[in-house]
Amino acid sequence: MPETAFQPTRALPYGRQHITDADVAAVTAALHADYLTQGPTVAEFEKQFAAYVGARYAVAVSNGTAALHLCALALNVQPGQRVITTPLTFAASANCVRYCGGEVHFADIDPATGLIDLLRVRALLEAHPKGYFTGLIPVDFAGLAVDLEAARQLADEFGLWIIEDSCHAPGGFFIDSKGREQLCGNGNFAALAIFSFHPVKHIATGEGGMITTNSEPLFHHLLRLRTHGITRDPADLKREPDGGWYMEMQELGYNYRLPDLNCALGLSQLARADEGLARRRALAARYDAAFAPVPGVRVLAPGRPGHAYHLYVIEVANRKGLYDFLKTKQIFAQVHYIPVHRMPYYEGLGWKAGDFPLVEDYYAHCLSIPLFPTLTDEEQDYVVACISEFVQKHEE
Ligand SMILES: *Cc1c(COP(=O)(O)O)cnc(C)c1O
C-alpha cells in the first residue's frame, strides 16, 4: 500500500484541463488576427481534427450538444420517430432526439463495459416491426469504443442510421473483425460522430464541439445548418444572384459556430492530444495495478486496448460513503451518470425506476476518480491510498 504521508497541494477533481504557455500564445495570436470568428482558423482546426480521428470531414460547432442537435437535424429526425440510445450517458445524447420531437428509447448496458449492450438493442429491434426505430446513438462511455462494426450490421439489418457520441473518446479505437484499429469518429460505420471540447474532455476550447463524417452531402448540410441555414456557395443557390452580397437562407438553421479564438486553442491542444492520451493510459494502467489487490474495489473494463480514458471508473459497495470521505481529503470524485431514464424529465415521458436494472445497479456503486494528464504519480498514489483506507475500513 502506498504511504499516505504525501499531502497534495491542490484539490484533485475527477478531470481538468491542461493549459500550457503554448496554448496561451496561440489564443493571444488569435486575438490579434483579422477574424475573431468565421475566419480561417476554423477550417484549419476542422482539417486537423478530421485527420486526427481518420475522418474525411469535420464541422466545428459551439459545443457537443449543438453537435448532437445538428446531427439529428441533418438525419432528419421527425416528430414521433423512435431512436435508441444508452441510459448511461450525459442527457444531451438523448435530448438531441427530443429537440426534433423524436421519441427516446433505451437499451440497458453491458455491466462489464458500461457500453450499450448490442444484444439488448437487437432484442428491442426484433420485438417490433421493421421501421419502428429509425436511429441508434451509441456512446463510447468513459473512452471505451463501442464495436461499431457490430452496430453497423444491426443498423443495416433494421434500417437505422448511427450517430456515434464520442465525446469521451478522441483517439480511442476498437479492433474490428479483420484485426484493424478503428478510430472513434472515423466515419467508417456511423453516419456522423460528435465530440465535445468542454474543459473536462481530452481537448479543451472552453466550450466547443466537432462533428465528423465521411459523407460529403451530410458535411455540406451541416455547414449550412450551423450558420442559420444560409449558403453563399454558388453551386447550392436556388436563384440567380442579384449582386456580390447575395446569399440564401434555404432552411431553418442556427448559429452554432465555434469562434476562431476557440479553434486556435483547439489547434494548440490537438497538437498535444497524443501526449495527453498516453498519460491518461499510463495513469489508468497504474490504477489498474494498484487496485488489483484491493478487495472491495471493482474497476470498470480494465486493460482494454484502445481505451481513451476520459474517465476512470471504480465500483464499490459504499459509494456515498467513499464519495464523502474523499471530499474530506480534497479529492473530488464524481458520478457518471445518473441514468438518463431516471431524470425527472424522462420519467415524465413514461420511464421509471426498474426499467433498466443493470445501469441502475451500476449507478448505485460507480465513482469516477481523478484522471487527467497533469495528475502526478504522487497525487495518484495518494488517491489510491485514500480509497484503499476507506474500503478496508468499511467494506470488510
Ligand atoms: C460532454 C458530453 C456531451 C455534451 O457536450 P457539451 O460540449 O458539454 O455540450 C454529450 N455527450 C457526452 C457523452 C458528453 O460527455
Question: Is 112 in a helix, a strand, or coil?
Answer: coil
CA 92 to ligand 1: nearest atom: 10
78: its cell numbers: 421527425
Q: Which H/E stretch holds residue 163?
A: strand 161-165
Residues with CB under 6 A from ligand 1: 63-65, 89-90, 92-93, 139, 165, 167-168, 196, 198, 209
Amino acid at 108: D
Q: Which H/E stretch holds residue 309?
A: none
Residue of 47, 178, 201, 238 with catalytic role: 201
CA 200 to ligand 1: nearest atom: 1
For ligand 1, the distance from its centroid to the CA atom of residue 65, given in whole angstroms, is 6
Q: Which residues of the chain have pLDDT under 50?
A: none
Mutational test site, ligand 1, from 93, 163, 368, max ligand atoms within 8 Å of CB: 93
Q: What number does CATH give the domain 21-270? A: 3.40.640.10
Q: What pLDDT digit, counting tens, does each position of 315-370 carry?
A: 999 999 999 999 999 999 999 999 999 999 999 999 999 999 999 999 999 999 99
Return the number of other C-beta atoms located less than 10 Å from residue 36's C-beta: 13
Domain boundaries, the chain: 12-16+273-394, 21-270
For ligand 1, the distance from its centroid to the CA atom of residue 193, given in whole angstroms, is 12
Q: What number does CATH give the domain 12-16+273-394? A: 3.90.1150.10
Alpha carbon distances (Å) from 337 to 12, 207, 360, 363, 368:
19, 20, 10, 7, 10
pTM over 0.75: yes
- Starting at the edge strand found earlier in the chain, the sheet holding 366-369 runs 298-299, 312-315, 366-369
284: its cell numbers: 489508468
Among 98, 120, 97, which residue's Cα sits nearest to residue 107?
A: 120
Residues forming beta bridges with residue 60, ordered by sequence position: 210
Query: Are 12-16+273-394 and 21-270 equal in CATH topology?
Result: no
Spell out the residues 6+ positions from residue 180 whose beta carbon is closer than 8 angstroms to its own. none
For ligand 1, the distance from its centroid to the CA atom of residue 25, given in whole angstroms, is 27
**Rounded distance, CA 288 to CA 34, Å?**
48
pLDDT of residue 5: 77
Beta carbons of 311 and 336 less than 8 angstroms apart: yes
Mutational test site, ligand 1, from 90, 140, 146, max ligand atoms within 8 Å of CB: 90
Would you call 201 a catalytic residue per the annotation? yes
Alpha carbon distances (Å) from 115 to 87, 181, 271:
10, 18, 29
Q: Which H/E stretch holds residue 373?
A: none
